[in-house]
Amino acid sequence: MGIVHKRSSPEAAACAAAAAQVLRGRGVEVLLDEAETGRAADLVLVLGGDGTLIHASGLLAARRVPILGVNMGSLGFMTEVPQEQLYPALDLVLAGKATLSERMKLGVHLHRAGAAEKRVVDAEVLNEVAIAKGALAPMAELEVTAGGRYVTTYKADGVIVATPTGSTAYSMAAAGPIVHPSMRGVILTPICPHTLTQRPIVLPDDMNLDITLRSPGEVVLSLDGQGFIKVERTDRVQIKQSSSRVLLVSNPNIDYFGILRAKLKWGER
């Protein structure tokens, strides 16, 4: 079992050390090195928040390895297990009684035109792809095609392409819809569009998207919020469903709607 914890949290580091000791006492080989975890772990324990879990899923690349997400703060959308339930959750997993939730990923390719078009970025995301202008830059013009058909050219602060898992992240903050993570679909959400009738849209998950920057100015590509890549005029970002999946261990004590109620304060006065 690999253990990945939030690096900036002393509490998460202490919890990781304690969990490693308990697991070794049960005869489980524990991997603490992230590269080794990505290469060899049969199960990954994440101690942190949803950002730490996204980082762990990136370590695994295309390997279908279950991830048990334990939240070290408030309940997470993906890190469903609270810290006090860590060891009961581990017992279920080690006994082979855990329930898994399969989550889709998106493949992202940034193509740069020139004498010979070249692929600058080749990556995968669990939550979303965001193409957004800089803070002081003018609105970006982003031409979008879906399945080879022209959709529109957004004049906006940017666009977000999200998975159902990522529908409760950046896309939701930009007024995108909440989509149940078991559904098949991709969400296209404009960020502050100049034309207010350009609304978020949910597209089939097998429909490839191409987004081309048609305007000058500072524009960046963000993958799951993990760093930024500069996008140049005429660059084309291709987004399509990945063949790989992320397997999350579900919390048996709370369902998805319970998570929504807790995180979004539904029903509170």
At residue 75, the pLDDT reads: 76
By CB neighbour count within 10 A (0-12 exposed, 13-18 middle, 19+ buried), where does 201 fall? middle
Q: Any catalytic annotation for residue 50?
A: yes
**Cα–Cα distance, 170 to 31 (Å, whole number):** 32
**Cα–Cα distance, 141 to 156 (Å, whole number):** 7
What does pTM read for this prediction? Answer: 0.94
Helices (H), 61-166: 86-94
For 193-212, the pLDDT digits (tens) are 999 999 999 999 999 999 99
Which position among 50, 157, 224, 235 bears the catalytic label?
50
Number of helices (H) and strands (E) in the chain: give both, helices first: 6, 16
The dihedral formed by the CA atoms of 107, 108, 113 and 117, expressed in degrees to the nearest 10: -30
Q: pLDDT tens digits, the chain, 269 residues: what are they?
A: 999 999 999 999 999 999 999 999 999 999 999 999 999 999 999 999 999 999 999 999 989 999 999 999 877 899 999 999 999 999 999 999 999 999 999 999 999 987 667 889 999 999 999 999 998 899 999 999 999 999 999 999 999 999 999 999 999 999 999 999 999 999 999 999 999 999 999 999 999 999 999 999 999 999 999 889 999 999 999 999 999 999 999 999 899 999 999 999 998 77
CB 1 within 8 A of CB 30: yes
For 40-97, the pLDDT digits (tens) are 999 999 999 999 999 999 999 989 999 999 999 877 899 999 999 999 999 999 999 9
Domain ranges (residues) in the chain:
2-99+250-264, 105-243
CB 125 within 8 A of CB 53: no
At residue 245, the pLDDT reads: 96
At residue 73, the pLDDT reads: 82
Distance of CA 31 to the CA centre of its chain: 23
At residue 115, the pLDDT reads: 61
CATH class of the domain comprising 105-243 = mainly beta
At residue 259, the pLDDT reads: 93
For the domain spanning 2-99+250-264, the CATH number is 3.40.50.10330
